RNA sequence: GGGCAAGUGGUGGAAUGGCAUACACGAAGGACUUAAAAUCCUUUGGCCGUAAGGUCGUGAGGGUUCAACUCCCUCCUUGCCCACCA
């Protein structure tokens, strides 16, 4: 017989919703627990990745609830973004209609999984009641000078006529139309996240319960590097060319200088030179290249000599100034000193263009003399040579000595360089939060007054995909009055990147309907911080970095009293099929809905948790689903054969299981928790469960298979939800065994097992082990040299 | 090129210094059945052996230890992230 999952799941979903048992209210007496999973982009249907993410969170949430915590477990939709607009262009519809449709569909599917969300707190970022607070926060940043406008080189898709975020550029091409992305200089809005770089780096040390992997990725992204800015002078004019390096110990090996093609200095120094035309042609060629072409392979480095020379401040050597594509304007000063003997890129370039090399660091134990011997740059540590007064020093020592020398002589300055750039947030797109500023000919850039928020998106808009942002065509939107002088003015038509929306949504969940600000300070003080955050590793840098930044900014505004939003972070692994990531483009997806209608949500949840630990990849297995279904039916049948009283052995197994399951769920080891429950069920089949044993089994399984267990729980005559039942405690006294099996090894190999009283003394245990027949025969008459005893576990006799 | 993670039966995985392969899938056999399905029970790492038992075995090689899947070193493979970052 198969248990009637369809009817059961539908019924309990309704009862839970009507009973509002998952709706959260602050309660100063109980300990709060805020559990959050990354909210989805409403693309239409939920996929297995969502199912996995949200199932993991749901089990943790229900478990905490049963342990007596006051749990906040909200859900919402990250609803702005390009796909809705693309769909609108394709279907000749409206992004809002498309998005609302998707949200309704996804909400229905999430409910069909039986997730324990407080749906009264649902937020959608595309609603004015939400995005007005994006605008509010933006204006606060604008006031503090953290939001600013500047000309910048950005990714631009010529077909879609819009800027693209870096993540929207796949292998140098537009993710939508596959057209090659070009670089274009445009006036854009930026947020000065760099102002917070030190705090963003330092506070990473506080995040003890984040995966090391994510912390490393954030550190790399911030990219703090200590070095020296060295002032080289142009030979003729004496004009200073600053160069950033982390390897000032190699400065005596510098044989030429390279400027990035975009470097403003280049045009200046070549003016009037015979090579001017050739160089300009080169610069033009490089600037036309896509970033993909420019960085492709990384081997072919092109460049030209400018005809000018620079002077090395440490030895007054004169060296040629080159322009080359391998130097980037965005990093450092856009200029480098090239040390071909000790930098692989410089090495390749020098070989190509027959530039000189000089060894200045000698590796220990090797006698590198001439640069001709080199087959590649030596980038390791060693002793200074050919380095004037610094000869003979260890290069680490020389690093600090040379830096000091430069500070003293004014030829350089100790500097810290960061990789982190300011955050480009403007998009020439309709479906996003309008940037709340107005351009006035007299007053300049003026923020929209707070009382006029939200600046709402106009609804009557045509979506053609051509001619830039559709907002430009809406006269009623563009034409505005200057808030300061009331003169006719122009409204900003760029919208915000959607990462803004998700940078603070976890705060909105604390008071989703609050009207006086982005969130109620009191509510946030109660619920925040997020105790457990769960989501994909793909957000390791962007979303998680932006959210950390927003939190710090809002703290500085006095709205929060903590620095970090997420206490613990779990990054769940991907769902694979046949060893490949499940994805639409591969066409190897499995539709959760189909599984639900065939086996029920509880079976799907059970399989997904049992098949692998949360952080690792999960291989989809149709047979595994059947196994999970079979197990639930096996539990279902127990209720028909309950005994008056279970025997002592089963009671003992139960307490052991309670201990194991409680510890495992606490540590998110759901697969082994389920394995322990399965063993317990096998033990029940070997004996017989009574009411009490069965009740506890149901409670332990309830977070994993909620509808199923709720039904069984009520079948036992309980009136309240199983999720109001207390999580079972185990009796430590019952876990103590009087007899234990001790393994006896001879020279580290298991040779015998002996049953002994658990409180046996070491000497007695040793005596018993040495007296064992098998042990005696394996010792072959030799006397024991050593005897290691691990109480209650093992004896190892060394002969 | 750099960083991180991983590598265990036919498969997903368990064990984080102390009995390698828990639990599940798959496979084989049995019970029930006129039969099948379902269910319940048993067996299931390789090799040698009728068996008792022996022996090998956690990507490869070395090391530490009474004892290593686990710790250290070198290498190989795979996956992910970053990347002309000076």
- As for the ipTM of the complex, it is 0.94
Nearest nt to the A325 alpha carbon by C1': B84
Half-sphere exposure at residue A355, Cβ-oriented, CA atoms within 13 angstroms:
25
Q: CA of A612 and C1' of B8: distance in angstroms?
A: 15
- Strand B contacts in A 139-198 (CB under 7 A): none
Q: What is the pLDDT of residue A297?
A: 47
- A728 Cβ contacts chain B strand, under 7 Å: no
CB of A241 within 8 A of CB of A310?
A: yes
- A241 Cβ contacts chain B strand, under 7 Å: no
Q: What is the pLDDT of residue A785?
A: 81
Residue nearest to nucleotide B41 (CA to C1'): A686
Q: What is the pLDDT of residue A291?
A: 62
Residue A702 φ then ψ, to 5°: -55, -45
Q: Could you give the C-alpha distances from A23 to A15, A129, A719, A794, in angstroms and in order?
A: 13, 21, 19, 52
What is d(CA A406, CA A758) in angstroms, rounded to the nearest whole number? 72
The enclosing H or E element of A637 equals helix A622-638
In strand B, which positions have an atom below 7 A from any protein CB? 2-5, 11-15, 18-20, 22-26, 38-41, 54-55, 66-68, 80-86
CB of A336 within 8 A of CB of A367?
A: no
Q: What is the pLDDT of residue A153?
A: 76
- Strand B contacts in A 323-382 (CB under 7 A): 325-334, 336-337, 343, 345
Q: What is the pLDDT of residue A287?
A: 77
- Strand B contacts in A 254-283 (CB under 7 A): 260
- A298 Cβ contacts chain B strand, under 7 Å: yes
Q: CA of A537 and C1' of B80: distance in angstroms?
A: 9
Q: CA of A628 and C1' of B29: distance in angstroms?
A: 24
Residue A415 φ then ψ, to 5°: -135, 155
Q: What is the pLDDT of residue A367?
A: 67
End-to-end, the C-alpha distance of chain A in Å comes to 60
| pLDDT < 50: residue spans in chain A | 297
What is d(CA A606, CA A116) in angstroms, rounded to the nearest whole number? 16
What is d(CA A174, CA A156) in angstroms, rounded to the nearest whole number? 9
pTM above 0.95, yes or no: no
């Amino acid at each position: 017989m198969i248990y009637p999952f369809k009817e059961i799941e539908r019924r309990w979903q309704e009862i839970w919703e009507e009973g509002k048992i998952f709706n959260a209210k602050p309660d100063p007496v109980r300990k709060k627990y805020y559990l959050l999973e990354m909210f989805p982009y409403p693309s239409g249907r939920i996929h297995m990745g969502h199912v996995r993410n949200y199932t993991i969170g749901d089990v943790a949430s229900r478990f905490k609830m049963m342990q007596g915590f006051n749990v906040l477990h909200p859900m919402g939709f990250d609803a702005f973004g390009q796909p809705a607009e693309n769909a609108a262009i394709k279907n000749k519809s409206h992004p809002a209609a498309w998005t609302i449709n998707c949200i309704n569909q996804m909400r229905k599917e999430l409910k069909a999984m039986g997730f324990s969300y407080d749906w009264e707190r649902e937020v959608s970022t595309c609603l004015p009641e939400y995005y007005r607070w994006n605008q509010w926060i933006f204006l606060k940043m604008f006031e503090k000078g953290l939001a600013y406008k500047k000309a910048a080189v950005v990714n631009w898709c010529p077909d879609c006529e819009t800027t693209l975020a870096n993540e929207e550029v796949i292998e140098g091409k537009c993710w939508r139309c596959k057209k090659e992305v070009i670089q274009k200089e445009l006036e854009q809005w930026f947020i000065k996240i760099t102002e917070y770089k030190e705090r963003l780096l330092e506070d990473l040390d506080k995040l003890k319960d984040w995966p090391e992997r994510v912390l490393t990725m954030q550190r790399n992204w911030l990219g703090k590097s200590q070095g020296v800015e060295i002032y080289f002078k142009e030979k003729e004019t004496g004009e200073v060319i600053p160069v950033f390096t982390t390897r000032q110990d190699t400065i005596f090996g510098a044989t030429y200088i390279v400027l990035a093609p975009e470097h403003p200095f280049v045009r200046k120094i070549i003016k009037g030179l015979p090579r001017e035309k050739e160089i300009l042609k080169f610069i033009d060629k490089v600037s036309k290249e896509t970033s993909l072409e420019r960085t492709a392979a990384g081997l072919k480095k092109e460049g030209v000599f400018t005809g000018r020379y620079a002077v090395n401040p440490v030895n007054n050597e004169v060296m040629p100034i080159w322009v080359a594509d391998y130097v980037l304007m965005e990093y450092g000063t856009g200029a480098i000193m090239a040390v071909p003997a000790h930098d692989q890129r410089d090495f390749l370039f020098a070989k190509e263009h027959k530039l000189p090399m000089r060894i200045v660091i000698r590796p220990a134990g090797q006698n590198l003399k001439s640069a001709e011997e080199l087959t590649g740059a030596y980038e390791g540590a060693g002793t200074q040579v050919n380095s004037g007064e610094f000869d003979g020093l260890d290069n680490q020592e020389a690093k600090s000595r040379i830096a000091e020398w430069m500070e003293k002589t004014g030829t350089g300055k100790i500097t810290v360089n960061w990789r982190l750039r300011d955050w480009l947030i403007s998009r020439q797109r309709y479906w996003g939060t309008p940037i709340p500023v107005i351009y006035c000919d007299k007053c300049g850039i003026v923020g929209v007054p707070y009382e006029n928020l939200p600046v709402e998106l106009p609804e009557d808009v045509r979506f053609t995909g051509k001619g830039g942002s559709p907002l430009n065509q809406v006269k009623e939107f563009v034409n505005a009055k200057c808030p300061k002088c009331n003169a006719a003015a122009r409204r900003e038509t760029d919208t915000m990147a959607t990462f803004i929306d998700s940078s603070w949504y976890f705060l909105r969940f604390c008071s989703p309907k609050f009207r006086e600000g982005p969130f109620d300070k009191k509510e946030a003080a109660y619920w925040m911080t997020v105790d457990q955050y769960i989501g994909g590793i793909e957000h390791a840098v962007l979303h998680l970095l932006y959210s950390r930044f927003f939190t710090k900014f809002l703290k500085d505004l006095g709205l929060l009293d903590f620095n970090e939003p997420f206490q613990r972070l779990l990054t769940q692994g991907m769902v694979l099929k046949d060893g490949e990531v499940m994805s639409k483009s591969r066409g190897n997806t499995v539709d959760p809905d189909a599984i639900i209608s065939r086996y029920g949500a509880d079976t799907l949840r059970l399989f997904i948790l049992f098949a692998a630990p949360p952080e690792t990849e999960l291989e989809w297995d149709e047979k595994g689903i059947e196994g999970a279904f079979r197990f639930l039916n096996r539990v279902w049948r127990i209720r028909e054969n309950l005994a008056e009283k279970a025997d002592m052995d089963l009671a003992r197994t139960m307490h052991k299981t309670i201990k194991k399951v409680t510890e495992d769920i606490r540590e998110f080891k759901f697969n082994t928790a389920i394995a322990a429950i399965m063993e317990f069920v096998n033990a029940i089949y070997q004996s017989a469960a009574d009411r009490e044993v069965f009740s506890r089994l149901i409670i332990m399984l309830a977070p994993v298979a909620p509808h199923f267990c709720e039904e069984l729980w009520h079948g036992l005559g309980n009136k309240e939800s199983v999720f109001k039942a207390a999580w079972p405690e185990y009796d430590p006294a019952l876990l103590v065994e009087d007899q234990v099996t001790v393994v006896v090894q001879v020279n580290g190999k298991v040779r015998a097992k002996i049953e002994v009283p658990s409180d046996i003394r070491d000497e007695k245990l040793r005596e018993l082990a040495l007296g064992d027949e098998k042990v005696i025969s394996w010792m072959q008459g030799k006397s024991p040299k050593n005897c290691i005893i691990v109480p209650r576990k093992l004896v190892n006799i060394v002969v």
